[in-house]
Amino acid sequence: MLFKQQAQLRQKLLVLGSLAIGSVLYLVARVGTLESPIPGPEQIPLRSIQFKRALLHELRRGNGTKEQLGLQRLVQQLPQAIIIGVRKGGTRALLEMLNLHPTVVKASQEIHYFDNAKNYARGIEWYRSKMPFSFPHQITIEKSPAYFITDEVPERIFKMNSSIKLLIIVREPTTRAVSDYTQVLEGKERKNKTYHKFEKLAIDSSTFEVNTKYKAVRTSIYTKHLERWLKYFPVEQFHIVDGDRLITDPLSELKLVEQFLHLPPRISPFNLYFNATRGFYCLRFNIVFSKCLAGSKGRIHPEVDPSVLTKLQRFFHPFNQKFYQITGRTFTWP
């Protein structure tokens, strides 16, 4: 009995200790690093949010119940915004970077609720149960890149929330297709299986034209997919993120997303630093905690015959023009 009480006391002290250390480190980290906060009704007390995040972390680790940690107001909210695609566009980087914002809570896993018949049949409360705990003033975001290209998804999302905000991150279409191929190739190699070369898959061997049956090619015809979505949602409900710029200048892209989501600007230069070894920007949450994306992000692409790349770029050109026209955002793709 005495032993149990001592163990409980020790656990409580541990929780309080880690919370106190976390808060002090957080305050030290934020002082002087934040952009001057914008005054107004939207302003959220950052420090208390970060403190609550620390409590949330303790809850997830099983170091107390909601009541013990004073987290009764925690809820599992359906997402108010979804990153619907595009596969290999930088969806993971975008989600992780948005999660730096104190008002954003991410669903860590891809949930595949709307594109997977079995999951969809489980119902909306199943979907909600997959969402992270958050406070009512926070917004939940999930990403499942397969949503963008799956026929049934727009209608299903519309039925859940017709005013939801939709984020699409795109990359130069040919590079995206090669990235898509690289991921599949790696999977095959891991299983000691052989796989065709990209050139063979992307070009029809009888007509020497671009093979539009190849999924990696089809996914890059962004306008075709977007048109299906526009049957349900007005174009204002979408925000297009430049995935190429998210790699080279992530903060500029994140600022545009903050505006689109009506979030106060809180992601600052402090939160992002370039890691020369990785060749990418990594994320800094505070002076002690920073992380880069997993090694599966930023793979080295195989070399592709330049004439095939040119053929693909020519093929995508008219679709790209249409995409610019519809979205009102122009990219520098060839």
Told to check if 173 binds ligand PPS by CB under 6 A, we report: no
Q: Is 266 annotated as a binding residue?
A: no
Which residue is associated with the tokens 């992307």? 202
Q: Is 90 annotated as a binding residue?
A: yes
Query: Considering 4, 52, 66, 88, which one is annotated as catalytic?
Result: 88
Shortest spacing between CB 316 and ligand PPS, in angstroms: 17
Closer CB to ligand PPS, 74 or 178, in the complex: 178
Please tell me the distance from the alpha carbon of residue 179 to that of residue 235, in angstroms, as a whole number. Answer: 27
Q: Which tokens hold the place of 52?
A: 């609550």
Closer CB to ligand PPS, 214 or 280, in the complex: 280
Query: Of these, 156, 224, 228, 297, which contacts ligand PPS (CB under 6 A)?
Result: 297
Stretch touching ligand PPS by CB under 6 A, among 12-20, 85-93, 231-239, 253-261: 85-93
DSSP 232: T
Nearest to 220 by CA among 153, 275, 257, 174: 174
Q: Is 88 annotated as catalytic?
A: yes
Please tell me the distance from the alpha carbon of residue 247 to that of residue 228, in angstroms, as a whole number. Answer: 28
Query: Of these, 107, 246, 254, 267, which contacts ligand PPS (CB under 6 A)?
Result: 246
Stretch touching ligand PPS by CB under 6 A, among 21-29, 56-64, 90-98, 160-168: 90-98
Burial class (CB in 10 A: 0-12, 13-18, 19+), 216: buried
Stretch touching ligand PPS by CB under 6 A, among 28-36, 114-122, 263-271, 293-301: 293-301
- List the interface residues with ligand PPS, window 144-163 (CB under 6 A): 145
Told to check if 281 binds ligand PPS by CB under 6 A, we report: yes
Shortest spacing between CB 299 and ligand PPS, in angstroms: 4
Q: How many residues bind ligand PPS (CB under 6 A)?
A: 18
Q: Buried b / exposed e across 233-244, counting CB within 10 Å, b at 16+?
A: beeebbbbbbbb
Told to check if 247 binds ligand PPS by CB under 6 A, we report: yes
Told to check if 315 binds ligand PPS by CB under 6 A, we report: no
Q: Which secondary-structure segment (H or E) carries 240?
A: strand 238-242
Q: What is the CA radius of gyration of the chain?
A: 22
Told to check if 261 binds ligand PPS by CB under 6 A, we report: no
Shortest spacing between CB 198 and ligand PPS, in angstroms: 13
Residue 189 has phi, psi (to 5 degrees) of -65, -35
Stretch touching ligand PPS by CB under 6 A, among 18-26, 210-218, 232-240, 290-298: 290-298
Residues 267 and 101: beta-carbon distance below 8 Å? yes
Q: Which tokens hold the place of 144?
A: 């499942």
Shortest spacing between CB 268 and ligand PPS, in angstroms: 16
Told to check if 179 binds ligand PPS by CB under 6 A, we report: yes
Q: Is 171 annotated as a binding residue?
A: yes
Q: Which residues pair with 81 in a beta bridge?
A: 141, 165
What single-letter amino acid sits at 287? Answer: I
Q: How many CA atoms lie within 13 A of 1 on its CB side?
A: 0
Helix axis angle, 250-260 to 91-98, nearest 10°: 70
Which residue is associated with the tokens 């596969």? 87
Told to check if 89 binds ligand PPS by CB under 6 A, we report: yes
Stretch touching ligand PPS by CB under 6 A, among 42-50, 119-127, 254-262, 297-305: 297-305
What single-letter amino acid sits at 220? Answer: S
Q: Which secondary-structure segment (H or E) carries 284?
A: strand 280-284
Told to check if 88 binds ligand PPS by CB under 6 A, we report: yes
Span between the terminal Cα atoms of the chain, in Å = 73
Q: Is 144 annotated as a binding residue?
A: no
Q: Known catalytic residues? A: 88
Binding residues for 3'-phosphoadenylyl sulfate: 88-92, 171, 179, 281, 297-301
Chain residues that interact with ligand PPS, rule: CB under 6 A: 87-93, 145, 179, 183, 246-247, 280-281, 293, 297-299
